[in-house]
């Protein structure tokens, strides 16, 4: 989506000397990079479903690209729709959640997942931003990261360098405001797992909790990549 971007991830990557390139799938004839041209893959969200291939044929090309990136072992961080695409590529199932989850809700991270190298430094729980209708099952061979009251699977880790998150740790305050405008959420009524625009604005300080999770995760992902390089040198 034109108004969704890497947010806090871009800030961290720039501050640590990493370059960031973009493949904008909403533009005509998007060009995917060569696998040799990047070290890590960041797959972001969108309002569409992973199953909208007939109306959005670029999804087929994106899915093929993701499968190839996973096959060659690229470190990968996938968020919301991105996590659903990676889950499907790894053999998981993407389907409608029993209820939409929109707003700042608490995710509890399992003790086992917190032992994984990518989640080193994460707390047992955090209130983070959610904006999704679909959910996914944990892919075969992956580990569930956590759960919220509305969604049984809030993420997964696969191997040492692939993680998918259903929630949005990357979003800045400005991005949340833009998302509410894009989704015409101003007049939305409160539901069991849907907060109003006013309720979301009252919790905007929680974007910094998401940012801390994301920065810790990016640091851990880069450490995994450096370790792989060192192993190759040996």
Contact present, 99 and 141 (Cβ < 8 Å)? no
Between strands 94-109 and 143-144, the pairing is unpaired
Residues annotated as catalytic (active site), given as ranges: 80, 168, 170
Q: What is the pLDDT of residue 28?
A: 86
Residue range 95-114: mean pLDDT, rounded: 97
227 — pLDDT class (breaks 50, 70, 90): low
pLDDT for 233: 44
Rounded to 5°, the CA angle 102-136-109 comes to 70
pTM of the model: 0.94
Q: Distance between CA 234 and CA 232 in Å, rounded? A: 5
Closest CA to 81 of 109, 43, 31: 43
With the CA atoms of 126, 132, 135 and 136 taken in that order, what torsion angle do they form, in degrees rounded to the nearest 10? -80
Per-position DSSP letters for 50-92, written without gaps between them: TT-TTT-THHHHHHHHHHHHHHTT-EEEEETHHHHHHHHHTT-
Query: Exposed (0-12), middle (13-18) or buried (19+): which is 28, by Cβ within 10 Å?
Result: exposed
Reply yes or no on whether the pLDDT at 152 is more than 50. yes
Q: What pLDDT band is residue 180 in, cutting at 50, 70 and 90?
A: very high
Q: What is the pLDDT of residue 234?
A: 43
What is the pairing mode between strands 155-158 and 143-144? antiparallel
């Amino acid at each position: 989506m034109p108004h969704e971007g890497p947010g806090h991830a871009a800030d961290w990557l720039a501050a640590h000397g990493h370059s960031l390139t973009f493949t904008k799938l909403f533009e005509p004839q998007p060009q995917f990079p060569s696998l040799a041209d990047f070290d890590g893959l960041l797959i972001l969200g969108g309002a569409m479903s992973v199953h909208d291939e007939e109306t959005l044929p670029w999804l087929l090309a994106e899915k093929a690209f993701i499968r190839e990136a996973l096959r060659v072992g690229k470190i990968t961080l996938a968020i919301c729709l991105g996590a659903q695409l990676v889950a499907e590529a790894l053999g998981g199932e993407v389907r409608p959640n029993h209820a939409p989850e929109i707003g700042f809700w608490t995710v509890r991270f399992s003790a086992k997942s917190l032992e994984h190298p990518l989640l080193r430094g994460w707390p047992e729980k955090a209130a983070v931003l959610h904006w999704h209708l679909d959910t996914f099952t944990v892919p075969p061979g992956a580990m569930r990261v956590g759960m919220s009251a509305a969604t049984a699977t809030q993420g997964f880790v696969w191997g040492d360098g692939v993680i998918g998150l259903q929630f949005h740790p990357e979003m800045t305050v400005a991005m949340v405001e833009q998302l509410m405008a894009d989704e015409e959420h101003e007049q939305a009524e409160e539901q069991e797992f849907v907060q109003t625009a006013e309720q979301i604005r009252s919790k905007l300080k929680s974007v910094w909790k998401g940012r801390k999770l994301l920065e810790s995760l990016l640091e851990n992902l880069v450490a995994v990549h450096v370790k792989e390089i060192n192993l190759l040198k040996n």
